[in-house]
Amino acid sequence: MILEMLETGALAANCYIVGDNSNGSKREGMIIDPGAEAERILERVNDLELETKLIVLTHGHRDHIGALSELKEATGAEICLHTAEADVFQTKRSHFQQPPPPPDRWLNGGDTLEIGALRFLVLHTPGHTPGGICLWGEGVLFSGDTLFNFGIGRYDFPGSSGAQLMDSLHTKLMALPDNTIVYPGHGPSTTIGTERRGNPFLTGFFSP
């Protein structure tokens, strides 16, 4: 599996480029959360010789969708977003002079995204936003703004819910194996086991 992270934009959002290199010259890929710096993202995708099939948004906040228009135009890839995120996405689109294009594929929890031989399960993890998702597969979790290295997503935005966020964390993410590598929407990577043992929001030191 090809996996690269690019920190983008003023809010340092993590954009992930994921690709399947198991089938010789046919290297399919996806881009997760293209927050900004479209040219830089596309340059790296081209360097990796990936054919981008999907652009997946873990949620609709502006710092995760800022490069969407350019990437859609350049790749023709399907834009994927959870159905419950429609209102958040529409609100954030209104902040752009030229609003990003709408999703091509609406996701639900339990859906599977396929990139070549790679498979990722869509986990609906509301709390930071109503339609926030994480992607789990191939031993990794792309956690968006649900789970960070010793932190969790904010829950003080319109539509956010601390109670929902904690439920998502405990019933879905903490149910994953300890050795699952977590790639969050901001900051460094971690593992589920590390967060289970030391994240102050999950050990009860802080409580939403």
Flag whether 59 is in a domain: yes
Q: Is residue 141 part of a domain?
A: yes
Q: What is the pLDDT of residue 24?
A: 67
Kindly state whether residue 207 falls inside one of the protein's structural domains: no
CB 67 within 8 A of CB 101: no
pLDDT surpasses 70 at 207: no
- Residue 54 located in a structural domain: yes
147, pLDDT greater than 80 = yes
Rounded CA-CA distance 79/65 in Å is 10
Examine residue 79 and state whether it is found in any structural domain, yes or no.
Answer: yes
Asked whether residue 181 is domain-assigned, the answer is yes
The pTM (predicted TM-score) of the whole model is 0.96
Tell me how many domains the chain contains.
1
Long-range Cβ contacts of 9-14 (<8 Å, 24+ apart)? 9/35, 9/36, 9/37, 9/63, 9/66, 10/36, 10/63, 11/35, 11/63, 11/186, 12/186, 13/63, 13/64, 13/185, 13/186, 14/183, 14/184, 14/185, 14/186, 14/187
Q: Does the residue 127 lie in any domain?
A: yes
Predicted local confidence at residue 50, as pLDDT: 96
Confidence grade of residue 206 (pLDDT, cut at 50, 70, 90): low
Quote the pLDDT of residue 109: 98
Rounded to whole angstroms, the Cα distance separating 128 from 148 reads: 12
| Residues 97-143: tens digit of each pLDDT | 889 999 999 999 999 999 999 999 999 999 999 999 999 999 999 99
Share of the chain above pLDDT 70, in %: 97
Q: Tell me what the mean pLDDT of segment 153-168 comes to.
A: 96
Does some domain include residue 205? no
* pLDDT at residue 98 in the model: 85
Spatial distance between the Cα atoms of 54 and 30, rounded to a whole number of angstroms = 5
Domain ranges, residue 78: 2-198
